A and B are shown apart, each in its own frame.
Chain A
Amino acid sequence: MMPKLIKKIEFDKTISKWFKSYDVIAPVSSKEGIHFKRIKDPKEIKLDGNQNSIYPPKNVFLPQSEVLFTVKNDNYEMPDQAPRKRIVFGMRPCDARAVWLLDTIFNKADDLDLYWGKRREKALIISVGCASMCSNGFCDTVGSGPFGKDGSDILITELDDAYFVDPLTSAGEALIKSLPEADDTQGKNAKLIQKGSVIKEHQAADLPRIREKLYEAFNTSIWKDVSESCLGCGVCTYLCPTCFCFDIVDEIDRSERVRNWDTCMFRVYSAEASGHNPRPTKAERTRQRIMHKFAYWVDNEAASGCTGCGRCISQCPVNLDIREMVQEITSLKIQ
């Protein structure tokens, strides 16, 4: 597929053209930092260096709260939640990879989640690579990278005066058909930027070994040690681009059945009606989170469930660092 080019001076014009047939969702600046939002003007877009949003863009496909159906006069009505085609512009490769990973959960051919599926088929993901890695990111160690291609329809590399646009799927190619083609020098420059983005000291994580070690440590007390300072809030999981647990509740006053995000870090998540809680303390809950990311995902999809975006590290109120936790657990010597 031929790579194309958007000159920086023509950027606004190019994006504006999409408004006719698409809703464009892009990073804009907001009170808490960068936030993904539907834009009405290309000037709102904020693509500063390697800064990513605090709130993960997984909510484009799996909103934090979504109505599954409404009951009206004994009829069930499923709302049309994605009436228009959408372009998600400016996702970072870590988040795009997360969507690709979540497709293995929600978008299976024989087991499709209708709500996810509808949103997903009507959306194109245009991700923007990071010329330098963000300070807490470790995407290059968990199977992706600052220019990882998983999940994106189009990958953009920022050059000095233009954006180098690399279509990865046929849908992506169709969208940028009318753009001018990039020449060889620009192609080379883009390659250079992509190569220079990785941090040399970072080593790829040995996932099978981590998985094995985690299973070995399953019944040890190390989980209590690493989770001691955990507060039990939902920051790490709600901000995680691949966490997808949800809870379905009936909002009786609205006659709606709603699906909300939920998190394994809450005590009530696993509490049973009898009062018994199979994960009674923070240790078990933290174990679930780490095991899910680095063992169960590896079991099921041979990929780590962590895309290395670093949100849980930078936003955790007590600075629990998933890198350090995994390190500590895997270096544990079990007799």
Chain B
Amino acid sequence: MKPARVMLVDDTPTRSAILEQALLDQGLIVVCRLESAQGLIKNVEVHQPDIIIMDLESPDRDTLENMTVLNQHNPKPVIMFSDEDDSQIIAQAVQAGVSAYIVDGLNPSRVKPIMDVAIARFREYQALKNELKQTRDQLADRKVIDKAKGLLMKTRGLDEEQAYHAMRKMAMDQSKPIVDIAQNILSVMELLAP
């Protein structure tokens, strides 16, 4: 059985590189990796993929969908999940942000493993991104808290621990995150600054 030919369309090159590697590891052929739909139809004709995997949030999806209608120009209509029974995998794909176009002729039993890999990698990438954002947010929060603490120490003559406790008490009393309290302190101080 010949390995399936996959085409990737994703404007996030890091993600599509991760996915490409994962697909290659499965013994599949990645015929082409595009960052946008520019030249999409031509590339489909040239590379003759069996399946096209595309970022769900790409505005170019509608362009690709037109190929399902253009069967006069293209002998291989592309249809996303032609089978109604695939609804679970489709829900998973949409959740993960993957869309796929299966070129007529590829056996459905060969589609599932490819989709599983794509869904897993897209999820992994999202998790990585979330983690990075969380770390960044935490760092930013930390900076705000430190700045407010410094300001309290300077203006109220508190030591570091007292300043921190003062903020923490306020946070608990108002049931707000400590970073919000710190931000408020900074805003008020700025307002009152000479």
Q: Tell me if chain B binds chain A.
A: no
Q: Point out residues on A near B: beta carbons under 8 Å.
A: none
A-contacting residues of B (Cβ < 8 Å)? none
